Structure 1
Amino acid sequence: MTFIRFILTTVIAAFLFWGCGPSQSVQRVDPASQSDLSGNWNDTDARMVAEDMTSDILSAAWLQNEESPVLIVGDIRNNTTEHIRTDIFIKEIERAIVNSQKVEIVADPDQRAQIRAERDDQQQHASYESAASLAQELGADYMLIGGIEANVDKNLDGTRAAKFYTVNLELINVESNRKAWIGNKKIKKMIERNKVKW
């Protein structure tokens, strides 16, 4: 009898525990809306960087004397302590540049590996007429490289902090190593919390 009472008590307690758990609600919002939950890098920061960098790179002097230059995206390094997906804003930059039709962009190294594997496979398995030709890749004239840096300055009790990000992108001539364009975007956030760990 005691054992059965113990089992019943345990089951009832488990149901009460699960029933009193945290509730959750989900709401769809406009992807362009600003949301700063932690003060860390987020989608709004990525969008701001993409918009400013794209506008700058397409209106800068380097492009005035070029006719359909070919660009490849190299390493964009995250030099912060945060987990930042640089590919999110880089893909936005690529999209805007390709759609401008002022600059051509070729596949990055990871994409090229997949495409080359497909091209090699076609040499063996596709008809002669439909197989993609070898050694016909478009060479890049410029490579886009850069990085993200961050700095946090906080007060002594840890309740206020200023977080500063700077994103630097550089366009380098592949043949001459000449830097044709340098873009910079700065973002600064003020964060206030009751108790905080940085």
Structure 2
Amino acid sequence: MSKFLPVFFLVIFASCSRTVTRVEPTTAIDLSGRWNDTDSRMVADKMIYDLFDSQTFKDYARQLGRKPVIVMGPIRNKTSEHIDADNYVKKFEMVIHNSAIAEIVESGDFRDKLRTERTEQQDFASSATAKQFGKEIGADLMLFGEMTSETDTNNRKRVVNYITTLFLTDIETSKRIWYGQDEIKKLVKN
């Protein structure tokens, strides 16, 4: 019996070992059927370019006479799943920033950190390099929205429909410039 004990443990250890394979970040991998990074990327790309292609956005930009400046507001997660809303917002910011169609300015905590740094520079940096107040670029528009989901289950099947709704609103007038919605539906069989 003692002679087979090491072989037994080797077989048990080998069957419990884990393998890890590196893949391209853009590779779609859906293990659980829940919302994932691929879904975030697909929705952000599609919705921002739907926004930029909309006639109301083009008319707004033409009337403004320059690239509109957008600030990201919150995208609230109203699904039953944990979805990192900050990461999702960053995907939208990245698409806007890389688009060359609109400008984006910092929002929320980042803007507050910049203002704190600017305040501290007034006391601790040389006057030649201290950044001045009153030079921020004001946003023209705020993009915000919400995510919801609808789930239907039967036996060992589940259908989840994720709906992202975005609103682009003129900050000065509160007029809604654009309203967009995108859906991703997943069928999960257990």
Superposed pair shares fold, TM > 0.5: yes
Shift of 1:21: 7.0
Is the Cα contact below 8 Å between 2:52 and 2:58 reproduced in 1? no
Partner residue of 1:163? 160
Determine the structure 1 residue equivalent to 2:38: 44
Who is 1:3 aligned against? none
Q: Distance in 2 between matches of 1:20 and 1:33?
A: 28
The corresponding residue for 1:9 is: none
1:27 maps to 21
Tell me if structure 1 keeps the 8 A contact 2:26–2:38: yes
| Corresponding residue SS for 1:73 | strand
Contact 2:57–2:178 (Cα < 8 Å) also in 1? no
Task: Name which of structure 1's ranges 173-182 and 97-106 shifts more when overlaid on structure 2.
Answer: 97-106
TM value normalised by structure 2: 0.87
- Residue matched to 2:185: 188
- Which letter does structure 2 place at the counterpart of 1:132? K
Count of residue pairs the alignment pairs up: 180
- Separation in structure 2 between the aligned mates of residue 189 and residue 85 of structure 1, nearest angstrom: 19
Residue identity opposite 2:123 in structure 1: Q
Q: Counterpart of 2:33 in 1: which secondary structure?
A: coil
User: Take 1:146 and 1:58, find their aligned partners in 2: how far apart are those partners?
Assistant: 17
Alignment partners' CA distance in 1, 2:166 and 2:85:
12
Provide the C-alpha distance between the structure 1 equivalents of 2:79 and 2:85, rounded to a whole number of angstroms. Answer: 11
CA contact (8 A) 1:74 1:143 kept: yes
Give the 3-state SS of the residue equivalent to 1:146 in structure 2. strand
Distance 1:96 1:44 in 2: 14
Matched, 1:173 2:167: no
Which amino acid is the alignment partner of residue 41 of structure 2? R
What secondary structure sits across from 1:64 in the alignment?
Answer: helix
Counterpart residue identity of residue 148, structure 1: M
TM-score by length of 1: 0.84
Displacement of 1:59 after TM fit?
A: 1.3
Counterpart secondary structure, 2:168: strand
Distance in 1 (CA, whole Å) between partners of 2:116 and 2:76 is: 27
Counterpart of 2:176 in structure 1: which amino acid? K
Matched to 1:117, the amino acid is T
Higher CA-based Rg? 1
Aligned equivalents of 2:31, 2:45: Cα separation in 1: 22
The one-letter code sitting in structure 2 at the alignment partner of 1:184 is Q
Whether the 8 Å CA contact 2:74–2:89 is kept in 1: the answer is no
Unaligned runs of 5+ in 1: 1-11, 194-198
Matches of 1:152 and 1:137, distance apart in 2: 44
Match of 2:103 in 1: 104
Equivalent residue, structure 1, for 2:125 = 126
Q: Structure 2, unaligned stretches of length 5 or more?
A: none
CA RMSD of aligned residues (A): 2.1
Note the 1:72-151 alignment, pairs <5 A: 72-151=71-150
Query: Which position in structure 1 is the counterpart of 2:56?
Result: 62
Q: Structure 1 vs Structure 2: percent identity of aligned residues?
A: 38
> Partner amino acid for 1:45?
D
Is the CA contact 1:58–1:97 (under 8 Å) kept in the aligned structure 2?
A: no
